[in-house]
Structure 1
Amino acid sequence: MPRIDERSWKKIFELGNNGKYDDEAYAEILATVLNLRVEKGLTQSDVARISGLSTSMISKIESQYTVPSVKNFLRYIFALDLDWELVHKR
């Protein structure tokens, strides 16, 4: 059964509560995609195979060991059957 390491959740929580808007937004996005991966029953290896990224890269993204390039992040979310959208702030 797919799962998310407890340390990853702790790091996401800390990132999302440091008072920096960009970190809070990234933490929210990351938590959303991690939850979706688990809900879909996909392992990191599954996402790696679908996306063409390495399992190591998926692990590094999810554990915040690295901040992926936009291109790699898109490959990651597309593997989860997600899309992206830019919305103008008002």
Structure 2
Amino acid sequence: MLDPRTGEPAEGLLSATVVASSAVLADGLSTALFVLGADRAMAFCEARPELAVVLVRAEGSQIEVLSSGFAPGEVEILGM
């Protein structure tokens, strides 16, 4: 996915998944959040309680999963 600000591939996130009121909204937001990067994407989502989001990013050799809008324990990543 290209970052429209730079024309270069977006960096930082491996995945952005959004649950929203419509598939079109979720698709558009997942693309935008992927380009924003984890920190800015989480700030955006935490200010919008109507969204549920799972972001996956690489931190060195570690994989980090971030989520917003889900109850504690509601997000489970299998195979990690």
When normalised by structure 2's length, the TM-score is: 0.33
Could you say which structure has the higher helix fraction?
1
When normalised by structure 1's length, the TM-score is: 0.31
Could you say which structure has the higher strand fraction?
2
